[in-house]
Structure 1
């Protein structure tokens, strides 16, 4: 069995990993770290929760340490872009723990907090800058940071950044960093738009793929409940009241819906918090912190909590609203059954959401069993491949295997991305 000692990492990084009891690398770490240490550009396809931060963070820190030079004032030697504030903060925290013995400076800049304070933090320069695209460009425009010293550029959760409308921001950032650099792009899915982004940003990349985009964890018991729209609130209260020890993450499609569901649960005596892009940064941090520490056992959130947010002990994921992007279902339910635990994912489906359910079941390759064991509505029978099952099947190659080119065979069916409808700038501000 491979250990971190076999991957060519230096003594300081191995000491930091040992202090956290990390011994065995995940598949994405085992395959990506040696390639990144060889200064290759990398296109990594892996779900959230597979250890991508260490896969790019450890070799990045080793490269910077080997050159052992101080960053210039108001500059960064490496840049990591993340779609959301929460994920950016989590990446920065992990990198600080890895760099505890290399003494490299990691900074994080996101929206929702005073920009002046962040500008001051960048005055002396930093080794690693983790940023959301919108706030990074704010600081660039204020001449608080310049990017011409970037040696390594990382785009994490690139498909979500495209979904949030960050393509123009990414293209602008690409013009500000040196052409001669190492670029690492990680994405949970591989639509055509990611292949196009990879062609623009990466130079002769090595592709590493460790899980099909539609794979769902075997330890997640997945159920579907067919309800009328007005019945969702009652069913949610019933499920959570019957499981007083549950630690539940409830997903809604809209920010207003998240607030409404959280208020309804509070009225029923079920302590909960809401998390979405309209909340201030301090509100978002308090809500997520209370959920992480177990002070609030229910967190009602939009899809900003669907990726990368690592909270241990989540027993239930409840899709109060089905996502209208089927890949989001996989990311949502992946918040449970982490670190070897099992979990329960329950999805509510009203009549107007049955098209979304068909898309989800087509992506994952199997029917979801009903929560109460009842029959599925007649119009929902036979709408997806594979036998009825309580768990979605892992979807394998559909065309005889996969190749090593972006957009090659073996991927989940490609969906058309919705065009930006004029709200992309607002989406960017809220996410950043």
Structure 2
């Protein structure tokens, strides 16, 4: 099946082809016809399976550029994800006269308010900044036709449940509602069923689809030897582009300092870094001016950068789901990728959970 079989418009198919996307993923094949048919959806699919395009393609197709109101609202838990969805939306909308506003903290609110006075069709926002606009009465959501909550599990994990509910009080009640999430627990279900009408539940089960292109390995080490172990591995791998995950902001700060001292081309990203600086760091990484991006889990969701060849878990993740989300940053769009995780004695229980979920033992280096 290709995108034309899903009745995707030819101008959008051409843009997808230019981006090297020729065939829909499973989540896209399932969601696109249902969204075009105005169904409400609760969709569960692993990171790296193409969820963003699964909702952007049909939503952009449905928008009438002559509308003088916000017809689509997309809510994302983090600035990074909001920026990334905006980048994808702008590419798809480039063939149509559709205006997009990205609204998140750290960006000049007055500039956003000025833009809102013009004709905006899609708003992509984080909860805090959107509520700020609602309080200032600078945004009108009464005619929104489609509401999308992306990474619903992260939204709740980060404590945004009350904010989401406050926002929905201001959104058109007769809307289409789409919930997308990598995991769906009872909390996500409760929220989703409360705000959807007769939703279609979609679950893409096969995690091996996202894992099969990633060569995984682990290094058994100690906290004292971990830094030298990392340096030995990356010297041996010589990755083209890599993300190195740390557990805390302090650990990321220290690792950047230590790697910088050894001459590695690296930058760190976490929530204490100003938005302007975070955008500059991500731009450098995307443009391959930085080889190693040191990150906390703020970057493990929704981050889709072409060309990441390696993922290193300097600090082993705290759950099997987090492991899959992290290493899912590589091995995308049909490319091969590699991951290497550094495991100390205290990580053995989670390692066992990861291997059980994957269905195989990860090779030891």
TM-score range with shorter-chain normalisation? over 0.9
Kindly state the Cα deviation for residue 11 of structure 1 after the two structures are TM-superposed: 4.2
The separation in 1 between residues aligned to 2:362 and 2:18, in whole angstroms, is 41
The separation in 2 between residues aligned to 1:333 and 1:18, in whole angstroms, is 26
The separation in 2 between residues aligned to 1:365 and 1:170, in whole angstroms, is 36
Kindly state the Cα deviation for residue 54 of structure 1 after the two structures are TM-superposed: 1.7
> Which is worse superposed, 346-355 or 106-115?
346-355
Q: Which residue of 2 aligns with 1:183?
A: 177
Alignment partner of 1:301 is 2:298: no
- Shift of the 363–19 alpha-carbon distance from structure 1 to 2, 3 Å rule, reads closer
| Partner-residue secondary structure (3-state), 1:197 | helix
TM-score of the two chains, using structure 1 as the length reference = 0.80
Kindly state the Cα deviation for residue 23 of structure 1 after the two structures are TM-superposed: 3.0
Q: Which residue of 1 aligns with 2:226?
A: 232
Q: Which residue of 2 aligns with 1:71?
A: 68
> Which is worse superposed, 206-215 or 348-357?
206-215
Q: Which residue of 1 aligns with 2:200?
A: 206
Q: Which residue of 2 aligns with 1:121?
A: 115
Q: What are the equivalent positions in structure 2 for 1:112-151 lying under 5 Å apart?
A: 112-151=106-145
Gaps of 5+ in 2: none
> Do the aligned partners of 1:237 and 1:268 also contact (CA within 8 Å) in 2?
no
| Partner-residue secondary structure (3-state), 2:237 | coil
> Do the aligned partners of 2:239 and 2:310 also contact (CA within 8 Å) in 1?
no
TM-score of the two chains, using structure 2 as the length reference = 0.94
Which is richer in helix?
2
Structure with the greater alpha carbon radius of gyration: 1
> Do the aligned partners of 1:16 and 1:99 also contact (CA within 8 Å) in 2?
no
| Partner-residue secondary structure (3-state), 2:106 | coil
Q: Which residue of 1 aligns with 2:31?
A: 32
The separation in 2 between residues aligned to 1:69 and 1:80, in whole angstroms, is 20
Kindly state the Cα deviation for residue 357 of structure 1 after the two structures are TM-superposed: 2.1
Q: Which residue of 2 aligns with 1:251?
A: 245
- Shift of the 21–327 alpha-carbon distance from structure 1 to 2, 3 Å rule, reads closer
State the number of aligned residues.
365
Which residue among 280, 283, 290 is the counterpart of 2:274?
Answer: 280
Q: Which residue of 2 aligns with 1:62?
A: 61
The separation in 1 between residues aligned to 2:117 and 2:200, in whole angstroms, is 35
The separation in 2 between residues aligned to 1:165 and 1:213, in whole angstroms, is 27
